Amino acid sequence: MLTLLVILNIVILLLFIIALYVMQKKHISFSKRVFSALGIGLVFGLILQLIYGPTSDIISHSTDWFNLVGYGYVKLLQMIVMPLVFISILTAFIKTKLSKNLGKVGGLVIGTLLVTTAIAAAIGISSAFLFNLDGIDLHKGDAEMLRIKDVDQSLNDIKDMTAPQKILELLPGNPFLDLTGARPTSTIAVVIFAVILGVAFLGVRRKQPEQAETFTKMIDAVYAVVMRVVTLILRLTPFGILALMAKIGATSDLHAIWQLGKFVIASYVALIVMFIVHLLIIKGTGLSALTYVKKALPTLSFAFTSRSSAGTLPLNISTQTKKFGVPEGIANFAGSFGLSVGQNGCAGIYPAMLAVMAAPTAGIDPLTPSFILTLIVVVALSSLGVAGVGGGATFAALIVLSTMNLPVALVGLLVSIEPLIDMGRTTLNVSGSMTAGLLTSKVTKELDSGVYTSVDGEQHIGA
């Protein structure tokens, strides 16, 4: 009976996949297919949960098969991240798109990410006050206690790292190792390695033009193949989102979400307000915020369902270049650095909210101006430090709480709703990196406004 029900669930998912494929053949827009997949997957997952329960063996076995489509797609995206980052930045140098203003581009991208993270921290603090969040009354169950032990171990791993040590972690000591993504900081290391090769190429082109021409042809060929792989993978986006949302709907702990509902609501209010700030920044550059929303939504939807900024990177860069008109070099800088520096959701809003909640447990009044200003500065600066220890909301929270001399156990008490909040945080992180790319290309006057305002970019990747 168990096997038959699992097979039935798999068959239903396959029917939905076939329906999405039929929509593709009928040339229904990529965005509509993505949102159809999101809605169908969520409803299907919730129905499964209501019928069988989130912890049943049927759900467990069914979602295990769903993962072949959902996390199989995520793995394909992760597979192409390093080659895409490396070859795109190197190509930008070869085509002289990045070499003339490298310092300005890097400064603008990182500066935008840090400033928006500071703003996100202020919004997170305000939301915690508005909803009167307090960490004293949070429940400590078995799962929470286990998570607290993991948090303590993670803190021991990073608390002794100095700022210079964190910076050294960014450098590509073994670029071939980093191209495999073996280290938490591999993406940034690959960016640095590509930049070094790009600068070296510029020197060779001046002194040995024939060798430079040979290298250019080789890189152009590799770039064409890598971008074709990206296109093929991105065509699978609706199917991946369908399976991911089905699993989320089927396995989410609705009771825990209800119990900690106030924190969930406060978090999403802060995330939405910060997203509005992104739109205001874009509007301030003279661009249409509505156009940004329409063109970014498929990418943000995938970030929401996958909870993976790294997995979203190919979509992120493709959206910036093909839909927004951002140059490849700037798009790669913004997307790559946005994975681990100045994450608005994970390194901005989340640790700021936890610090406000943890302060009363340490006898500190979080309403004092000195505490608030110190917290905003610590959050912004520590978002750079997150890159040295692998990124992620947990590490960001640990760094901020330990720096502020606040108890870190609070991080472990939110384990049951972590996935739900992480979906929103990841979405905001990706939006922040795309905003940084747009702003930088606009300031450097390299944005192709015709591409941004066009309505035919519905998808090079969705056909």
| pLDDT score for 112 | 94
- Find which of 115-129, 139-153, 257-271, 393-407 is predicted with most confidence, using mean pLDDT: 115-129
Least confident stretch, 111-125, 221-235, 281-295: 221-235
Q: What average pLDDT score do residues 201-216 get?
A: 91
Q: What average pLDDT score do residues 318-327 get?
A: 92
Q: Is the pLDDT of residue 341 over 90?
A: no
Residue position matching structure tokens 């991911």: 244
Q: How many CA atoms lie within 13 A of 389 on its CB side?
A: 25
Q: Is the pLDDT of residue 239 over 50?
A: yes
| pLDDT score for 125 | 95
Please, is 344 exposed, middle or buried when counting C-beta atoms within 10 Å of its C-beta (0-12, 13-18, 19+)?
buried
Least confident stretch, 43-57, 59-73, 128-142, 272-286: 128-142
DSSP string over 328-383 = HHHHHHHHHHTTTSS-TIIIIIHHHHHHHHHGGGGT--TTSHHHHHHHHHHHHHHH
Please state, rounded to an integer, the average pLDDT across all residues of the chain: 84
Of the chain, the percentage scoring pLDDT greater than 70 comes to 86
Closest CA to 433 of 290, 319, 322, 336: 336
| pLDDT score for 149 | 54
Q: Is the pLDDT of residue 144 over 50?
A: no
pTM: 0.79
Alpha-carbon torsion angle 362, 365, 370, 372, nearest 10: 90
Q: Dump pLDDT digits (tens) for 55-103.
A: 899 999 999 999 999 989 988 988 888 888 888 888 877 875 565 677 7
Give me 444's structure tokens.
């450097």
Q: What average pLDDT score do residues 348-360 get?
A: 90
- Who wins on pLDDT, 157 or 69? 69
Q: What is the CATH number of domain 2-453?
A: 1.10.3860.10
Backbone angles phi, psi at 252, to 5 degrees: -65, 140
